[in-house]
Structure 1
Amino acid sequence: MRIMRILAFESSCDENSAAVLQDGKLLSVCTRTQTVHKPYGGVVPELAGRSHLELIDGLANEALHEADIRLSDLDFIAATIGPGLIGSLLVGANYARGLAISLNKPFRGIHHLEAHLWSAELSHGNLPLPFLVLLASGGHTMLISVEGVRRYRVLGSTLDDALGEAYDKIGKLMGLSFPAGADVDRLASQGDGHRFTFPLAMQDDTFNFSFSGLKTSVVYKLRDLPPEIVRSSKNDILASFQEAAIESVIRKVRLAAQRTAPQVLVAAGGVAANSLLRKRIYDLAESMGIPCAFPALSHCGDNAAMIGYLAWKLNRCGIADSAWSHQARPRWPVETLTEGTQAQ
């Protein structure tokens, strides 16, 4: 069988990434997290786009050098085209498409949330179907049953804030820098998660999530506590917030797993790097007698390795590319990815 080498790019938000894969195996990945947004407490789209423009050529060359692959060795180019920030998407997609044209190689546009669905296979190989994915990435928190390539059933999603957004907002209230997820996780691990009681949202029989009420409850708690108690109890407050957030998620994952009987439980996306979430998913899977799988920590956030892997998988499965998949799409629902369906 002919060897397939792919150069892939990810630029949907504030991660700059390029990767080289050969037959679905990762040869190199070079990722830079933009720090320019820290003073603003969130991603500034204009600054994100400029950063991608400054870094993308150097990252491509670095990834090729680490993989010991020349441009002429490549078989095709792939890049994230959605969903995400339109300026950032255009930088990555246009650079990749221009490179493909100059090399007379095919270009493939990739949905970066779909790439997250398959990212655990980079570390674990082919997962048995169907598998259930808790996808927590950026502004998305979703439960998706993966029944095959381009066969996805969205069971539920967040009705307001995503889990990662809640972490960032609570982190900001507690004086942490953006993005706050890793710092919340680290400090919470040093605190008492049962000292303060916060509500568990959406305790119904649907698979949807809600985190705005939890966020508001923490705000009220910080308002009502004396400032000296807030300062001395920082780790306990964060631990109690995290306990409520993760427990509400696990209850939904358990319900979905009971109803869909997956072969594997998967957590993917940036929040899947959270240590408590990984432990609770592992414990849940063990209690239900099914395996679980996580992407490597370096593959949880947005990265080009998963983009290249999905491009390879789609090609191997014979799923044809089409003209509409070359357009940058800031909004692109996962539900439109059913094979044969085009995004509107």
Structure 2
Amino acid sequence: MPEYLGVDTSNYTTSAAVYVSGENRIYQRKKLLPVKEGELGLRQSDAVFHHTKQLPDMIEQLFGENSLGIPEVVTASARPRNIDGSYMPCFLCGEGFARSYAAVTGAEMYTTSHQVGHILAALYSADRLELVKERFIAFHVSGGTTDCLLCEPDSESIMKITEVGTSIDLKAGQAVDRTGLMLGLHFPCGTELERLAVNADKSFKVKPVLKDGSCCLSGVENKCGAMLKSGEKPENIAKYCLDFIAETIIAMTAHAVEKYGELPLVFAGGVMSDVIIRDRIISRFPQASFAEPQFSCDNAAGVAIYGYLKSTGEKSCL
């Protein structure tokens, strides 16, 4: 049975996944990189060190706990985005493993971007993989990106991505983590911040700041800091932060729809696993598709699917 191995070594998580095409099923294992208490992530040298330790464990668990064959295709995310100059050393860990695996086994090897992997994982999770044959609008919202993207079919890279809007300053995931650490939460702070926010007893009217479809989010951190100093409850501060991000994504979506028309909407990235943000977006755009949390946060599922699409020349897993 054809099986496709994918690896992703981002600045947050070590991930390995196998896509079994005959079952249209993903098997995956992943582990967050360890971050010291009170810190906002890792230096790249530390991320590389931890991936070097964790990737063998993820591969051993993935194949030791599942009845999987020997994959004939291996794919790695080798860069953050498919744009010139996009580079982070942490992705060398996954790419190096993939090159070694291909050299020893004779497997086909491909590389893609972390961003393409996120989008394909979201399409798989939402049962919308057929969209790789169409134009659609995707959001990639995480600790390193707050991007609105026009995605179009491409024979070479599966999808051509054109930036429609981005964050000019702070990224959404950074706003979440900085607010969370301000409130004494543990990095990454998304899950704990959401738990706080559901117990808020105030609602907030927020006004997103957009410039030609791109957003500014640095004001969120400043406002949350001011709220904390004034004695506002942590629950309400958390709710304000998430509401502001949600309304910002809604405004960016409205701008993209006005520019490109009523295209399918897909939301990917770790921040999009937040239920408060997701539900607020769906209330405005009910046609939107979201990944399940395990496919929203960093993962190698979409990277494995990329190898399937490249190897078979197909544009759908249906």
TM-score, normalisation: structure 1: 0.81
The structural deviation recorded for 1:78 is: 1.0
For residues 221 and 279 of structure 1, what CA distance do their matches in structure 2 show?
Answer: 25
Q: Give the 3-state SS of the residue equivalent to 2:271 in structure 1.
A: helix
State the AA in 1 paired with 2:79: G
| Corresponding position: 1:126 with 2:138 | no
The structural deviation recorded for 1:263 is: 3.6
Residue aligning to 2:83: none
Residue aligning to 1:220: 226
Q: Which structure is larger by alpha-carbon Rg, 1 or 2?
A: 1
The structural deviation recorded for 1:125 is: 3.8
Higher deviation after alignment, 173-182 or 84-93: 84-93
For residues 85 and 151 of structure 1, what CA distance do their matches in structure 2 show?
Answer: 18
1:208-228 CA-to-partner distances (Å, cap 9, x unmatched) read: 0110122222223333x1xxx
Question: How many aligned residue pairs are there?
Answer: 302
Q: How does 1:240-251 map to 2 (within 5 A)?
A: 240-251=240-251
Q: How does 1:195-344 map to 2 (within 5 A)?
A: 199-202=207-210, 204=211, 206-223=212-229, 225=230, 229-230=231-232, 233-286=233-286, 291-317=287-313
Q: Is the 8 A contact 2:245 2:277 kept in 1?
A: no
Gap change, CA 1:308 and 1:163, over 3 Å in 2: same
Residue aligning to 1:182: 191
Q: Is the 8 A contact 2:246 2:278 kept in 1?
A: no
For residues 259 and 37 of structure 2, what CA distance do their matches in structure 1 show?
Answer: 41
Q: How does 1:8-27 map to 2 (within 5 A)?
A: 8-23=6-21, 25-27=24-26
The structural deviation recorded for 1:312 is: 1.6
TM-score, normalisation: structure 2: 0.87
Gap change, CA 1:38 and 1:317, over 3 Å in 2: farther
Gap change, CA 1:96 and 1:238, over 3 Å in 2: same
Structure 1 residue runs without a partner (length 5+): 320-344
1:84-114 CA-to-partner distances (Å, cap 9, x unmatched) read: 8744212221122111101122221120101
Higher deviation after alignment, 165-174 or 23-32: 23-32
For residues 249 and 49 of structure 1, what CA distance do their matches in structure 2 show?
Answer: 32
Residue aligning to 1:191: 200
Q: Is the 8 A contact 1:13 1:85 kept in 2?
A: no
Higher deviation after alignment, 161-170 or 239-248: 239-248
The structural deviation recorded for 1:251 is: 1.5
For residues 202 and 169 of structure 2, what CA distance do their matches in structure 1 show?
Answer: 24
Q: Is the 8 A contact 1:8 1:308 kept in 2?
A: yes
Residue aligning to 1:159: 168
Q: Is the 8 A contact 1:12 1:82 kept in 2?
A: no
| Corresponding position: 1:89 with 2:85 | no
1:243-270 CA-to-partner distances (Å, cap 9, x unmatched) read: 2221122122122123322442211011
Q: Is the 8 A contact 2:79 2:91 kept in 1?
A: yes
Cα RMSD of the aligned pairs, angstroms, is 2.2
| Corresponding position: 1:28 with 2:27 | yes
For residues 79 and 46 of structure 1, what CA distance do their matches in structure 2 show?
Answer: 19
Residue aligning to 2:75: 78
State the AA in 1 paired with 2:257: A
Gap change, CA 1:240 and 1:192, over 3 Å in 2: farther
The structural deviation recorded for 1:69 is: 2.0
Higher deviation after alignment, 40-49 or 241-250: 40-49
Q: How does 1:110-125 map to 2 (within 5 A)?
A: 110-123=112-125, 124-125=127-128
Query: Sequence identity of aligned pairs in percent?
Result: 22
Residue aligning to 1:106: 108
State the AA in 1 paired with 2:106: N
For residues 46 and 219 of structure 2, what CA distance do their matches in structure 1 show?
Answer: 31
